[in-house]
Amino acid sequence: MSDEYQIEVPPSFYALYTDARQRLTEPLRVVRDRYEACEDLANHLVDHARTLLFQLGVTEDDVLERCLRGLDTPESGVSGPEARWVVHRLAELLGWPFLPDPPPAPDAEG
């Protein structure tokens, strides 16, 4: 069977679904479907982000943070790592600096 998939999934998205041994944790079809959904979401948010920047008079980082908070919920339809990827992609599409990755969570034991 020929693989005629025309959209190239970037390594940054594959990394969301790759384990320590560099194997996909989901079937390739699922990863491609999730990528298309996340890429579409990032493109859809471009106008919304520009509107927020203008209407609220906040910084680009504030807009990206608000978008991340909105996406990092179960209701958004994307996972936490996908939400971060979408916001990074949104920043890239807008030509804005990326949000820094959050510091690692402290150990539960102390």
Which own/partner contact pairs does 22-29 have at CB distance under 8 Å and 24+ positions apart?
none
**Domain regions of the chain by residue span:** 11-94
pTM, two decimals, is 0.84
Q: What is the pLDDT along the chain (110 residues), one digit of tens a residue?
A: 445 768 899 999 999 999 999 999 999 999 999 999 999 999 999 999 999 999 999 999 999 999 999 999 999 999 999 999 999 999 999 999 986 665 554 544 44
DSSP conformational letter for 15:
G
Separation CA 99–CA 62 (nearest Å): 9
